[in-house]
């Protein structure tokens, strides 16, 4: 059994019971998010963050989510063939009150206040809709939160959405982080088994950043590892990042899992990763996340470029 604790001290953190409980609760969430297994005392710097999260919570509760939420898509590229094999759907929220809010900010709040299942439903419907316009060889990767996997009704609704869409489930990958599964492993396992039974595949996101990565690879029906971008960022400077990436690539090969490296920003990183045996990459080097309307032109451009490349290879071979 592990425990995380949040505390608030009388006078400094508040003068009424309600204020103190609210601040202790906020400190508890801070502990769970950043200092698991320890205790956090509500401090002055938490006040600003709590206000901001309060504003996000208020706006989320009053939002017309179907209208204000949208998705952008980032290509995952097979560097050997120089082809996009899938797009990862990334949520965007345009709040009339707060402007553009990043998912790093609003997803955790939606999780905390119990709105995440509703958000995920809306986003999944939009993603499946966008995907209908893509060629059949292009897949979709979609991020799930813990509560999407552990609540049986939410899993049921997701399964129904996927089935009703008519999209071939083998084109669909679901991404979950390992931290998302720590709290309720048995429920997560059951939820993932139901989703996988549809024929979708499962990627372990931000791989290498949690503290029990290997246990999850072993006990979950995982198909793909996504190596976290913190390793890619350290790739050129730190020998350790290189060694970690090489080990994860070896691990994925011996377990017969696919592997994607995230956050590739430079040609040097891509070349080094390719030399290490990495095939699928994602990052600003290939493309930033784009609006659904941009995908058609992007894929057509890629088609032209790849066939030009094939022609050059062909004529070079003929010349030899
Ligand atoms: P993630 O799943 O790890 O997504 C990758 C993040 O890295 C995205 O940020 C993407 O824009 C960014 N990124 C991609 N390539 C590069 C690069 O080359 N360099 C750098 N520096 N960054 C790169 P974004 O869109 O802000 O999303 C942040 C996080 O929010 C995601 O991290 C994911 O955990 C969460 N998220 C986004 N959309 C959803 C969603 O629909 N549902 C859920 N549950 N979470 C989501
Ligand atoms: Ca992801
Ligand atoms: Ca990631």
- What's the gap in Å between 90 CA and the centre of ligand 1? 6
Nearest to 305 by CA among 286, 284, 279: 286
Query: Is the Cα torsion angle 35, 152, 71, 128 positive or negative in sign?
Result: positive
- Which residues, other chains included, contact 17 with Cβ-Cβ below 8 Å and sequence gap of 6+? none
Q: Strand pairing partners for 20?
A: none
Residue pair 226/205 in contact (Cβ under 8 Å)? The answer is: yes
CA geometry: angle 142, 148, 152, nearest 5 deg: 135
- Nearest to 106, CA basis, from 143, 69, 160: 69
Among the bound ligands, the one closest to the CA of 69: 1
Instruction: Give residues whose Cβ lies within 5 Å of ion ligand 3.
Output: 205-206
| Three-class DSSP category at 120 | helix
Spell out, as residue ranges, where the chain has pLDDT lower than 50.
none
- Whether the CB-CB separation of 306 and 83 falls below 8 Å is answered with yes
* Residues 6 or more apart in contact with residue 137 via CB below 8 angstroms: 85
Largest CA distance in the chain: 84
Instruction: Determine whether the shortest distance from the Cβ of 203 to ligand 1 is under 6 A.
Output: no
Nearest CA to ligand 1 atom 14: 283
**Stretch (H or E) spanning 108:** helix 103-112
**Rg, the chain, Cα only:** 22
CB atoms within 10 A of CB 245: 24
Spacing, Cα 228 to ligand 2 middle (Å)? 9
Query: Closest Cα partner for 105 from 89, 91, 123, 121?
Result: 91
CA–CA gap between residue 275 and residue 73 (Å, rounded): 27
Please report, for residues 72, 74, 88, the alpha-carbon distance to residue 291 in angstroms, rounded to integers and kept in the order given: 5, 9, 12
How far, in Å, are 12, 26, 46, 86, 286 from residue 42 at the CA level? 9, 8, 6, 43, 42
Tell me 266's DSSP state.
S
Q: Which residues pair with 69 in a beta bridge?
A: 93
Nearest CA to ligand 1 atom 45: 143
Query: Ligand 1, atom 20: nearest CA belongs to which residue?
Result: 263
pLDDT at 90: 98
Of 18, 42, 16, 20, nearest to 29 by C-alpha is 42
Cβ-based burial of 209 (10 A; exposed 0-12, middle 13-18, buried ≥19): middle
Is 288 a pocket residue for ligand 1 (Cβ < 6 Å)? no
pTM of the model: 0.92
The burial class, CB within 10 Å (0-12 / 13-18 / 19+), for 282 is buried
Angle among Cα 274, 279, 283 to the nearest 5 degrees reads 85
Contact 269, 281 (CB under 8 A): no
């Amino acid at each position: 059994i592990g425990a995380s604790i949040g505390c608030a001290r009388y006078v400094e953190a508040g003068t009424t019971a309600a204020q103190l409980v609210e601040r202790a609760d906020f400190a508890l969430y801070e502990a769970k998010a950043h200092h698991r297994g320890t205790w956090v005392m509500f401090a002055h710097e938490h006040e600003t963050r709590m206000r901001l999260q309060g504003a996000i919570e208020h706006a989320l509760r009053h939002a017309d989510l179907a209208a204000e939420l949208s998705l952008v898509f980032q290509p995952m590229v097979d560097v050997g063939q120089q082809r996009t094999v899938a797009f990862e759907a990334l949520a965007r929220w345009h709040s009339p009150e707060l402007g553009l809010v990043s998912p790093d900010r609003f997803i955790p709040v939606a999780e905390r206040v119990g709105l995440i299942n509703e958000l995920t439903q809306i986003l999944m419907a939009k993603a499946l809709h966008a995907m209908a316009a893509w060629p059949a060889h292009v897949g979709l990767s979609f991020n799930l939160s813990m509560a999407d996997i552990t609540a049986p009704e939410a899993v049921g609704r997701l399964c129904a959405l996927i089935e009703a869409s008519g999209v071939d489930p083998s084109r669909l990958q679901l991404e979950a982080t390992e931290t998302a599964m720590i709290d309720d492993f048995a429920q997560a396992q059951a939820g993932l088994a139901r989703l996988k039974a549809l024929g979708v595949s499962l990627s372990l996101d931000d791989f290498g950043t949690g503290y029990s990565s290997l246990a999850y690879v072993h006990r979950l029906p995982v198909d793909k590892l996504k190596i976290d971008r913190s390793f890619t960022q350290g790739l050129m400077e730190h020998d350790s990042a290189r060694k970690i990436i090489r080990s994860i690539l070896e691990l994925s090969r011996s377990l017969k899992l696919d592997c994607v490296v995230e956050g590739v920003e430079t040609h040097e990183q891509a070349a080094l990763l390719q030399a290490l045996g990495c095939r699928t990459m994602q990052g600003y080097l290939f493309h930033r996340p784009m609006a659904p309307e941009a995908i058609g032109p992007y894929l057509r451009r890629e088609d032209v470029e790849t066939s030009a490349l094939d022609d050059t290879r062909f004529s070079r071979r003929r010349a030899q």
